[in-house]
Amino acid sequence: MSDCLSQSYDFGIRIVQLSRWLKDEGKDFPLSGRLLECGAGLCPALRVAQAMGDKGSRVVAFRYVEEAEYLLELMVETDFITALQSEPLLSDCRVIKKDIRANQSKRKKQSDGSDADNGK
C-alpha cells in the first residue's frame, strides 16, 4: 500500500494547489472546501488502514477519492476548470481507487487463507 500512500499524499498536495489556484483566480467553487477535505483526508485514512489493518478506514479513503472525483467532474461541467486541467487529477482518482480495491482483495485473500489455516 506504500505506493498508494505516496499517490494519495501527492494527490492531496495537488488538491491543495488547485484550491489555492481557484482562490487566486477568483473562482469561488461552492464545494471547494469539501474537495479540500476529500483531498486532505484521503492519505490519513489510508495510513490508518495500513497501520491498523482497518477495513473501515479503507472504505473511508475510497469514499474520499470517489467524492473528489465527482467534485472534479462537477468543476469541469460548471466551467471552474477545463477538462484538460482536470485530467491528471481524475487519472489520479482512478489509479488510487484501483489500488485501494487491489489492496482490499489482497487482504481478503490473505484473511481467507489464514482462516483456512486455522481450520475455519
Higher pLDDT, 54 or 111: 54
Locate 75 and state its grid cell: 468543476
Return d(Cα 45, Cα 108) in angstroms, integer: 19
pLDDT confidence of residue 54: 84
| 116 located within any domain | no
36-89 pLDDT, tens per residue?
A: 999 999 999 999 999 998 889 999 999 999 999 999 999 999 999 999 999 999
Domain containing residue 95: CATH number: 1.20.1440.60
| 119 located within any domain | no
Query: 19 near 32, Cβ under 8 Å?
Result: yes
| 118 located within any domain | no
| 112 located within any domain | no
Structural domains in the chain (count): 1
| 21 located within any domain | yes
Query: 42 near 8, Cβ under 8 Å?
Result: yes
- Nearest in space to 64 (alpha carbons), one of 35, 27, 33: 35
Mean pLDDT of the chain, nearest integer? 90
Q: Which domain holds residue 35?
A: 2-105
pLDDT confidence of residue 103: 80
| 111 located within any domain | no
Mean pLDDT within 11-38? 96
